[in-house]
Amino acid sequence: QVQLVESGGGLVQAGASLRLSCAASGRTFRNYAMGWFRQNPGKERDFVGAISWSSGFTDYADSVKGRFIISRDNAKNTYYLQMNSLKPEDAAVYYCAANPPGEGLRPREYAYWGQGTQVTVSS
C-alpha cells in the first residue's frame, strides 16, 4: 500500500528557508502527481504545489510562486518542498499527497496522504 512520510518541519524565523521531504513507498509512482498542501486549524487545506513524478513538470499556488520549489529524487523515491523567504503566513501543517495519473496536478482530490509536518515561522 502507498505510504507517504513527511519530514523536515520545524520552527524558523521569517526570511529563512526550510526543506520538507516526502518519502514515498508502496508502489511505483510513474506519472503520478505528487503534491504539497498546507492547513491551519479551522481552515481548509490549501494546495501549495505539485510535481509530476515522471516529467518533473511543476505547478504552484500563486502565494508561493517564486519562493517555493518542488523537486524529486526518483532514485530515493522522495520529493521535496524547498521553502525560501518564509513568511509568518506560511506557518501551517504541511502534507504531501499522491494521486494516480490522468487527472493532472490539481485533481479534485488526491488519493493518498502523509501524516503532516508542522512548520512554524516566527516574525
Average pLDDT over residues 102-109: 95
| Alpha-carbon gap, residue 12 to 15, rounded angstroms | 8
Q: What percentage of the chain exceeds 70 in pLDDT?
A: 100
CB 6 within 8 A of CB 95: yes
| Alpha-carbon gap, residue 100 to 102, rounded angstroms | 7
CB 12 within 8 A of CB 120: yes
Average pLDDT over residues 109-114: 98
Residue 104: DSSP 8-state: -
41-85 pLDDT per residue, tens = 999 999 999 999 999 999 999 999 999 999 999 999 999 999 999
